[in-house]
Amino acid sequence: MKFLKPGSLSFSLAWKIILIQVTMVAMGLVGMVLMYGDSGAGYIDWKMSESIAKSIRVDGDALQVDWAALDRAAQDRPATFWFAASDEDGRQLTHGTVPEVFRPLVAQLQYLEPTDIRTRTRAAELAMRIWVNDTPEGRVHVMIGGMPHRGLWRQMLVVIGYLGGWITVPLIVITLVVAPWAIHRSLRGVNRVAAQAAAIQINERGGGLDTHAVPAEIFPLVDAFNAAVRRIGESYDAQDRFLVGAAHELRMPIAILATRIDDLPPGPARSRLQRDLSRLSNIAEQLLDLQRLDHHRSHSQRVDLAALTREVAGDVAPLVLDAGYAFSVDAPEEPVWVRGDPHALHRVVASLLQNAIAHGGDRGMIAVALQPDGVLAVTDEGSGVPEQERQAIFEPFHRLRPSGSGSGLGLYLAREIMLRHGGSIAAESAAGGGARFVVALAVDRGAATPG
The domain boundary, picked from 252, 267, 296, lies at 296
Q: Name the nearest CA neighbour of 378 among 349, 401, 413, 340.
A: 349
Q: What is the pTM of this model?
A: 0.47
Are residue 222 and residue 207 in the same domain, yes or no? yes
Same domain membership, residue 257 and residue 339: no
User: Helix or strand or coil: residue 75?
Assistant: coil
Taking the CA atoms of 240, 245, 248 and 253 in sequence, report the sign of the dihedral they define: negative
pLDDT, residue 448, reads 47
Q: Are residues 176 and 291 in the same domain?
A: no
pLDDT in tens, the chain (451 residues): 455 555 666 677 777 877 887 788 778 777 776 666 666 778 888 778 888 898 898 888 889 888 888 877 777 788 889 999 999 888 999 999 999 999 999 999 999 999 989 888 888 889 999 999 998 888 999 999 998 887 666 666 666 666 666 777 777 777 777 777 777 777 777 778 878 787 777 666 666 787 777 777 778 888 888 888 888 878 877 777 776 777 777 778 888 888 888 888 888 888 778 777 777 777 777 677 666 665 555 567 899 999 999 999 999 998 888 888 999 999 999 999 999 888 889 989 988 998 898 888 888 899 999 999 999 999 998 888 888 888 888 887 776 665 455 556 778 888 888 888 889 999 999 887 889 999 999 998 764 444 4
Residue 87: the pLDDT is 92
What's the confidence (pLDDT) of residue 156?
67
Q: What is the pLDDT of residue 401?
A: 62
Considering the domain architecture, whether residues 52 and 168 belong to the same structural domain is answered as: no
Element (H, E) at 45: none
Does one domain contain both 320 and 418? Answer: yes
Nearest to 351 by CA among 399, 406, 298, 395: 406
Instruction: Judge whether 10 and 3 are in contact, CB under 8 Å.
Output: yes
Give the pLDDT confidence of 179-196 residue by residue, as tens digits: 777 777 777 777 788 787
pLDDT of residue 113: 93
pLDDT digits (tens, 9 = 90+) for 225-236: 888 888 887 887
386 shares its domain with 319: yes
Does 371 share its domain with 261? no
Residue 396: give the domain boundaries.
Answer: 299-451
316 and 270, same domain (yes or no): no
Clarify whether residues 129 and 167 are in a common domain. no
64 and 183: one domain? no
User: Of 172, 192, 212, which residue sits at a domain end?
Assistant: 192
CATH code: domain of residue 369: 3.30.565.10
Q: How many structural domains are present in the chain?
A: 4
Classify strands 115-117 and 128-135 as parallel, antiparallel or unpaired: antiparallel
Q: Across the chain, which distance is largest between two alpha carbons, in Å?
A: 141
Do the bridges between strand 337-340 and strand 375-379 make them parallel or antiparallel, or are there none, so unpaired?
unpaired
pLDDT of residue 391: 87
Q: Got the DSSP string for 212-281? A: GGS-TTTHHHHHHHHHHHHHHHHHHHHHHHHHHHHHHHHHHHHHHHHHHHHTSPSSHHHHHHHHHHHHHH
Which of these three, 296, 315, 337, is where a domain ends?
296
| pLDDT value of residue 202 | 65
Q: Do 113 and 181 have their domain in common?
A: no
**Are 305 and 424 in a shared domain?**
yes
